[in-house]
Structures are given as structure tokens and as C-alpha cells.
Amino acid sequence: MELDNRIRKLQDRLSYIRDIFGDKENANIALLQARLDEFLTQERGMSLADQMRHMAQLEDLFLFLEKKLDAQLTPMDRVRIVRHPARLCLKDILENVYDNYTEIGGQDEYSIDPSMLIARAYITRRVGKRVINQPVMVIGQEKGHGQEFRNGGSVKPWGNAKALHYMKVAETENIPIHSYVFTPGSYPIEDYPGAAQQIAKNLFEMASLRVPFVSVISEGGSGGAEAIALSDMRLMLSHGYYSVISPEGAAAIEAKTRQGERVAPELIAKCARQLKITAADNLAMGYVDKVIDEPPLGARVDHYDFYKTLRNEMIKATNQVILQVKGMKLFRSLALSERLARKGQAVDAEEVFVSWNLSSKARENLVWKRHQKFRRLAQTAYMDTRTFGEKVVGRFQGLAWAMNSYFRYEFLRKHQRKIKRLQEELEAEVHLVRNKVGKPIRAVMDKFAGGRPQTVSEEAKTSLTQLSKWDDKGGLSNGKWVYTSPKAKEDRTVTCPNAETHGCLDLWAPDLFGEYAGVCGYCGHHFTMEYQWYLHNVFDQGSIFEFNGQIESGNPLGYEGFDERVAEAKKKTGLKSACMTFESRIENLNLVVAMLVAPFRGGTVGAAEGEKFVRAVERARRKHYPLLAYVHGTAGIRIQEGTNGVIQMPRCTMAVQRYIADGGLYLVLYDTNSYAGPVASFLGCSPYQFSIRSANIGFAGPGVIKETTGVDIPPDYHQAHQALSRGHIQGIWDRREARKNITQALLTMGGRNLYYR
């Protein structure tokens, strides 16, 4: 009986190995198979003792070869490991790493989103004579060993909303958060609160969450992972992956396949390799802080030793985060290292007690540390062609602006307020006196004047025909635009896509792209326009001053063939990256603008774009200017930069969070297709997002939605009006009125200084 069990186990292990290595031929696997078959055929003829002996040998062989195979794992094999139903799940972790837990708001499929699991858990241990109970909030995706209703850990927007809710609860309770990332990516659905917008909200809130936050990544699929992973300490399981996109998705994009077509497995494997998605890669790039070693070929449900390791690591990581910000840091860390030195081996975290309660000041410190941590990331993933001198000058200038702003807005304000109040009171007094004295006289005058018509003098009559005063407003309206699109230079006509339903006649291109600014004169459909149109027709003439132009997009992963493609984009557009940052004026109001430009590789965001965005936000903060993110178009994170791109989601969002918390006014304006990562982070988190009528806004495009969910979506699924109906954006503007509306937004939302406080 026992032997049967052991045989079955070996058979399971072998079939697992086969699953992991896919269709690849491998001598070691063949050997295992042969030896197992041999044992099975010879088994009957052997004595029990022989059987046991052979069995033990066979098990040893398995152990030996599994180790050997582990060294041969390719990135794609690792993808298969984390997706395997035998892979450990969050429930297993809750049961084995923690001492007690209660699941919050879910009982298998009875949950608002069974793929997101929340639990209040305890770590209980005895240190010396004391029994210590340390509560944590555990948040993570549950794949449920292939349970269908878990959706493979692909979380719907409301699942992420629940996660955010309990992060805030943990903040109130002042307990640490442990998050476990087991997701291939978020479920691409736009229903409120919206896949992208909810992730953006999560990132925004996590940026200032005032409790220690440790996250562990097993399967880290892009935005879905970020939704619960903006943490103080990011651990990664050694056999996991953390990537901007699934290798299949990347391959589909590379091969430019259409919906439903299959991509060659070789290309998928190649993409997996190129994207640098393994734990070791991410550790090297600095996007995770530590890798936790798993048993050979990955941790599965019954690897009980691994749970102990994990528990140890979680306690240690939490302690570390806390010690970083707690007083007496030096003493504590000294204590830790002393033990380390004495034993000459890994310290057992179980034996170290650090209180997980933080004072208010320490909590503030924690948030500041988190900001700094992310600010420092990805600094080598873009090209900066400035000279050393220029960089130094740039740094000093920033400091000078910050000082200037401090005096203008902080110091002087306090005193000014007093003077102002005095002045207002005085004015009110004067007004009152004047009214009291003036009233009777005016009443008499009115009596004389009213009733019968006044006679009109010749002079008055002439003036009557010249009633209104003309103020010749030059320039931008009446279809006379400063910039004319090159599309307006061809003698041809264009058919409006709404022609069938709205009866629009064909439009003459010079009219349509010239005077009409790309708006159908019959139905108001907005054709897309070049970003230059906005640069020249929205902002004050000659007021654009670009900065950080020398920060250039590169190829940080050394992705094959990508150097040429970036060079080509630079040549085609004359830009150095998809993000142009500049200072400008609208109706003489200063503002900082970060613009994502669609023609440069689809307006995708990589390390250079992220860095430029962060710097633009910082500049706006230092100078106390409002900030406009003008999204001419963005297709998402630039996949060829891998996690160098993904990490821009938390980085940029944190910068924005700090700016807004500081009192900044952050406006977002979408123009054409705006999708994925950027919308799911630093764009989607703005309280004031507007859209030109031409925009499509969403998390994933129609192809990806069909691929991942199997659902056909209506053609207008992402159209701006739908986004407005779903509550994702705050308003829709006519392109021709963009300038007027931005001014209006600045004045009504920005208040006196175009900056809240």
C-alpha cells in the first residue's frame, strides 16, 4: 500500500516535470521515465525488501535529476511552473505560513471576486517566555489549483477595489500588510470601477499607505501585479516570473498576428527569454529586493519545508521594514547582525522580536522611504545625454525653484493673509457708507429717467449704431488655426465613419483637417490630429519651453532588434522619446505639460518616458505650477523594456501622489487611443481626467479582450462617451474648444494660484 503511494507520487512528479518542460526532448526526463517503467515492470517479481530498496534508489535518482533539471529551466518553463495547478496557492500559504486566519468576504465562489483573497492572519510564536501574537492583513490573488471560478487569479476591478478597501482597513488598524501576487494580469473589463482606473486608484493610495507593506511575487503579470505590489519590500519566489506582459501576448504583438491566430511556441519562448522575466533578472535590475529560494522545479502544495522558509522570510522582511523607520534602529540592527555573526548562518527570524506597531512619525518616515525607494529605480534604463556639468546645474536649479516657491507660497502667504483680510474689511466699510449716502439721490434720478423715452441727441444717435465696443481678438478661433495639418494639403475627400448613420457627406480634406480641426461638420465625429496641432493651437504662441529633452529612450534589456526600431522611431518623429515635457502658458497661465506622443512607438511608456514624467511632476511641484498630462495617445507600457517599463507605473503614480498631496492641480487630457499601463496608473489616478471626443480609453484593446475573455465587445466599447458614462473620466471636450476648456479647468479647479494650497 505504502509502495503504491510512493509509486503514484513519483508518477505525479514525472508528469509534472513533463508539464513544465513542455514538448522539449530531454535525456534526463527520458531517463526518469525509463527507470520508472523498468521498476514497474520488474516490481512484481521482486521481494518486498528489494522493492523498497529499488524504490529508495529511484527516489534518490528523482531528487538528483530534479536538481539537475532545475538548472536547465528556461524562462518559459518558469512560466509553466507558476501556472501549473500543483503550484502552491495563497490558501496553502495562509494555512501553512500563518498560525491562524479568517478569510474576509469570500467562501469559494461566493465572493465579489473569488480571484482576490483577503484574510486577517496571525503569526504566533514564543520568544523567550513570551507568546507573541502579530496580526497582519494578507491580500493576494488566489488561483485555487485550477478552480474555474478563480479565473486563474485574473482579478476583476471590484476585486482590486476590495483589496484597496482592506489595505485602508489595515492602515486604520496599524497592522502590516503581506501581499501575495499570483496573477497573469487583471481581467480586462471596463465596468465600474474599471480595470485600469481601479489599479490606478490602488497605486495612488498605496503610495501613501501608512503601514509596513511586504509583497511576494510568484506570478507577476503587469498591471494586475502592480495593483497590490507597491510595497516597502518586494520579495520574489525563485521560480516565479514578473513581467510587463505574458510571453504569449508579447509574441502575438511581435508577430503582428490577428485575433485567433496561433503564434509559434519558439517565438513565445524567445519573447519569454528576451523580456527578462525571471526572479534573478528582476533582482539584478533592482525591481525586487530579494529572491526566496524554492525547492527544485518550484514549490508545490506539499513542500512543507518551503512554507517554513517563506514564514521566516516574511517575518524578517517585515522586521526590516519596521527597523528602517523605527527609532533605535542602530541598536536593533546591531542585535540582528550579532546573532548572525555568532551562528555563522542565516538568522532564524522566529527568534527575533520586533514590535510591528509604528508611531505616527515612523509611519510618515515609512511613506517617505517608500517614495525614495521607487524614485531611485530604473535610473540606468534610459539614456541621458547631458554632460556632467549640465546635470549638476539642473539639480541646483531645482533646489532654487523649491526655495523660491517656499518663500512665495508658504512664508509670505501667512503674512499676506492678515493684510488681505484687513484690506477687505476696510473696503466693505467704505462700500456700506457710500451706499447709504448715495441711495436717495439715485432713486430720484431713476424716477426722472424712467417711463417716457429719452430724447436722443445727434451725437448719441451716431453712437447708437456703434454700440458694442470691438475688441479685436486675434488669432485662434474662427477656423483660422496657427498650425495646419499636412493632411489638409491634399485635394481629396474623406468619408466620415458615421456617414451611414448620420448622413454625413464626404468632407474635403483641406476643409476637414484645416478649418474644421479634424471635426466632421455634420455629426461632430473627431478624426485624429497630429500632436503638433495642439502644441500650436492650444498653448499661447511661442510659449513652449521644452526641458529634459536629452533624456532618450533606449533598449535597456538589449531586446533583439529593438535598437534599430527605437532609432527608426527617433528618426521618423524627430523626438528622443514618446514623452515630451515642457513649460507653457495658456491665456498667460503658466503650466507644466507632459505629453505622450502616439507616433513614437505608439506613445508607449518606458524608462525614459517614466523618468521624464516624474521629473516634470517634480518640476511642477517645485515651481508650484499646475500640471497637464496631455495624452496624444498611448498604447501602454513599452513591452520591449520589460519590467523597466512596468515599474514606471508605481514610480510615476507616486510622483503624482506627492504632487497632489502637496496641493498641486493635476489635469489629464486624452486625445486618441489611450490604453493599458499608463491609464492604469499615473493617468487614471487624476481626479480630473478629460477627453477630446476622438479618444478611446480603456485597459485592454478589443483583440486582447477577445483573447483573454472570449467576449466580443461592441465597436464603441472604449469610446470617450462610454468612459464618461462609466465614471472613468470627468468630461468630454470638442477639439476646437480644447484651449478654452483647459483655461476654464485651470481657473475653476485650480483656484487663485492654480495650486490648491
Partner 1 sequence: MINVKELLEELKASPYELIDIVAPHTGVVEFAVKEPGLKVTGAHGAYREKPGTLIATLERERNKKPIRATLTGVVECFEAGLAGRFVEAGTKLATIRHYLTSKEVVDLILKKALFLFPAPERAKYYFIPEIDKKMRASGKNAVEVRDGMELLIMSRMKRETSLPYKGPDGKIYAVYFKLGENVDSGHPLIGVCPGDQLPLVQDVVNRVRSEWEEHE
Partner 2 sequence: MSAAHKVLVANRGEIAIRIINACRKLGLGFVAVHTREDMHSGHVRHARTHGGDGAVYRVSSYHDANELMAVADASGATAIHPGYGFFAEDFRFARRVVKRDRPLIWIGPSWGVIRELGDKINTKRLARRLGVPTVPGSDRPIYDEMEAEELAQSLFAFQADQGFERHLVLLKASAGGGGMGIEEVERMDTFRSTYRRLRNYAKRQFQDSGVLIEQRIFDFNHLEVQILGNRRGDAHVHFGTRNCTIQSTGRQKRVEVAPGFAPGELTYGFDAGKVLDDIVEYSLRIAKEVGYNSVGTWEWIVTPKGDPFLMEVNTRIQVENGISGAISKINDEGPVDLIKEQVRCALGEELGYSQDDVSFDGLSIEYRIIAEDPSNRFTPWVGRIDRFAWEEQPWLSVLTHVPTDEPYDIPTEFDPNLALAIVKGKDLAEVKARGVAFLDSLVLAGEDRAGQSLKSNVAFLREKTANILEF
Determine the Cα–Cα distance for residues 574 and 568; give it in Å rounded to an integer.
10
Site for partner 2 contains 511 (CB under 8 A) = yes
Q: Rule CB under 8 A: say whether 714 interacts with partner 1.
A: yes
Under rule CB under 8 A, residue 443 binds partner 2: no
304 binds partner 2 (CB under 8 A): no
Binding residues for partner 2 restricted to 485-504, rule: CB under 8 A: 491, 493
Distance (Å, whole) CA 609 – CA 574? 15
Binding-site size for partner 1 (CB under 8 A) equals 12
The site partner of 494 among partner 2, partner 1, none (C-beta below 5 to 8 Å per kind) is partner 1
Residues 281-320, interacting with partner 1 (CB under 8 A): none
Cβ atoms of residues 368 and 331 within 8 Å: no
CB 163 within 8 A of CB 229: no
User: Least distance from C-beta 751 to partner 2, angstroms?
Assistant: 21
Q: Are 137 and 98 in contact (CB under 8 A)?
A: no
Decide if residue 470 touches partner 2 (CB under 8 A): yes
Residue 174 falls in which region: left (phi positive, over 0), alpha (psi -120 to 50) or beta: left
Q: Is residue 491 a contact residue for partner 1 (CB under 8 A)?
A: yes
Stretch that binds partner 1, among 374-382, 478-486, 712-720, 738-746 (CB under 8 A): 712-720
Q: Which is nearer to partner 2, 353 or 688 (CB)?
A: 688
Count, residues near partner 2 per rule CB under 8 A: 22
The residue assigned the cell 477687505 is: 424
* 714 DSSP 8-state letter: P
Least Cβ distance, residue 444 to partner 2 (angstroms):
18
Stretch that binds partner 2, among 293-301, 385-393, 437-445, 464-472 (CB under 8 A): 464-472
Q: Which does 464 bind (CB under 5 to 8 A by kind): partner 1, partner 2, none?
A: partner 2
Which residue reads 477656423 in cell numbers? 479
Secondary structure, 3-state, 282-323? HHHHCCCCEEECCCCCCCECCCHHHHHHHHHHHHHHHHHHHH
Task: Compute the least distance from the CB of residue 491 to partner 2, in Å.
Answer: 4
The residue type at 756: Y
Under rule CB under 8 A, residue 712 binds partner 1: yes
Q: How far apart are CA 507 and CA 495, in angstroms?
A: 6
Instruction: Indicate the pairing of strand 673-675 with strand 696-698.
Output: parallel
C-alpha–C-alpha distance, residues 321 and 311, integer Å: 16
Q: Quick one: CA dihedral 125, 131, 134, 138, positive or negative? A: positive
Examine residue 493 and tell whether it contacts partner 1 (CB under 8 A).
yes
* CA 463/CA 453 separation, integer angstroms: 17
Quote the least distance from Cβ 501 to partner 1, whole Å.
Answer: 8
Fill in the per-residue mask, 496 to 525: x = in contact with partner 1 (CB under 8 A), - = not in contact: -------x--x-x-----------------
Q: Which does 470 bind (CB under 5 to 8 A by kind): partner 2, partner 1, none?
A: partner 2
CB of residue 604 to partner 1, shortest distance in Å: 26
Crossing angle of helices 48-71 and 27-42, in 10° steps, is 170
Count how many Cα atoms sit within 13 Å of the Cα of residue 331 in the half-sphere of its side chain: 4
Check residue 715 for interaction with partner 1 (CB under 8 A): yes
Contacting range for partner 1; rule: CB under 8 A; set: 261-269, 378-386, 711-719, 734-742: 711-719
**440 touches, from partner 2, partner 1, none (C-beta below 5 to 8 Å by class):** none
Of 345, 455, 501, 588, which lies in the binding site for partner 2, with binding defined by CB under 8 A? 455
DSSP for 312-359 reads: HHHHHHHHHHHHHHSTTHHHHHHHHHHHHHHHSS---GGG--------
Q: Is 27 in the site for partner 2 (CB under 8 A)?
A: no
Comparing CA positions, the residue from 312, 328, 324, 316 lying closest to residue 370 is 324
Q: Is 389 in the site for partner 2 (CB under 8 A)?
A: no
Q: Is 258 in the site for partner 1 (CB under 8 A)?
A: no
**Residues interacting with partner 1, by CB under 8 A?**
490-495, 503, 506, 508, 712, 714-715
**Residues interacting with partner 2, by CB under 8 A?**
450, 453-456, 460-461, 463-468, 470, 491, 493, 505-506, 508, 510-511, 515
